[in-house]
Structure 1
Amino acid sequence: MPNTQRLLTARNIWMATVRPNGTPHLVPIWFIWINERIYICTAPESIKARNLRANPNVSVSLEDGNNPLVVECTAKLLDKPFPDEVVRLFKSKFDWNILTDDEYGALFEFTPVKWLLG
């Protein structure tokens, strides 16, 4: 496994999902890294959330192109109650309480499958 320390401090990752027609959808998004998992929170009906519910395969990359870290993952939509540690880390890293933000109420857990660069 690559050096994942940068995942603790980086604010954004680039996330690639697959649309129903097979084309990619690439967006930057806030995230946290804990217990060898990546977590993102988004609007339940956003393109990325719909894509992940239809096809759980996702690739993510840190923004630094000079020192790349790229990983393929499998996504899972989490039901409430959300894990306490995940809620706490979103609050401490972004000053964002994901429990009270109904607009962005879909929490996904990404399990790394294959590290490509890092």
Structure 2
Amino acid sequence: MRIAGPPRGPEQRRRDVLARLERESDIWVASADAGGLPCLVPLWFVWDGLAVWLCTRPTNPTGRNLRDGRRTRLALPDSRDVVLVDGEATAFTAEDVPAAAADAFGTKYGWDPREERAPYAFFRVRPLAVQAWHEVRELPQRHLMRDGAWLV
């Protein structure tokens, strides 16, 4: 693959990140347990304009790690159009999750985790930092959010 065209500016990269959060289906979720054992899994997600919503079993490693450690790094699946989101997770049961967040899974995927026989937990991940870049040429201005505030 050849690099073509000039690097995108930060404003365009922010627009591109937000568009991808709306349209993508999968996001890689990195977490770690109290001992530092890492876990990396792809999950379906929903973007509500302010936070990424995840849903997984509360007893699996990702569910436990997000509930107990609360910190995560999320990555959209494209190594040439990198988007990394560092965030803090808040856990919700199927009973206390905001209806709009849970309903969004049904709208986007045709799946309502609240209807499953096995319990599912929901996790709201509020972005604290966002990085985005195409190839090495955009690395110098990759930071689009820090400390939960957009820089552009």
Q: Is TM more than 0.5 here?
A: yes
CA distances 1:14-64 after superposition (whole Å, capped 9, x unpaired): 010012221321111110000310001111101001111221110001001
Identity of aligned residues (%): 26
CA–CA separation in structure 1 for the residues paired with 2:33 and 2:97: 26
Distance 2:119 2:129 in 1: 28
TM-score, normalised to structure 1, is 0.91
The structure with higher relative contact order (CA 8 Å, sep 6+) is: 1
> 5+ unaligned residues in a row in structure 2: which ranges?
1-10, 134-152
User: Which one has the bigger strand percentage?
Assistant: 1
Asked which structure has the greater CA Rg, the reply is 2
Paired with 2:103 and 2:38, the residues of 1 have a C-alpha distance of 31
Matched, 1:68 2:82: yes
Give the match for residue 22 of structure 2: 8
Segments of 4+ moved more than 3 angstroms: none
- Matched pairs, number: 118
How far apart are residue 116 of structure 1 and its match? 2.1
1:32 aligned partner: 46
Q: Which runs of 5+ in 1 are unaligned?
A: none
Q: Distance in 1 between matches of 2:85 and 2:71?
A: 11
When you count helix as a share of all residues, which structure comes out higher? 2
Give the RMSD, CA atoms, in angstroms: 1.6
Could you tell me which amino acid in structure 2 is paired with residue 46 of structure 1?
A: N
Q: 1:86 aligns with which of 101, 106, 113?
A: 101
**Residue matched to 1:109:** 124
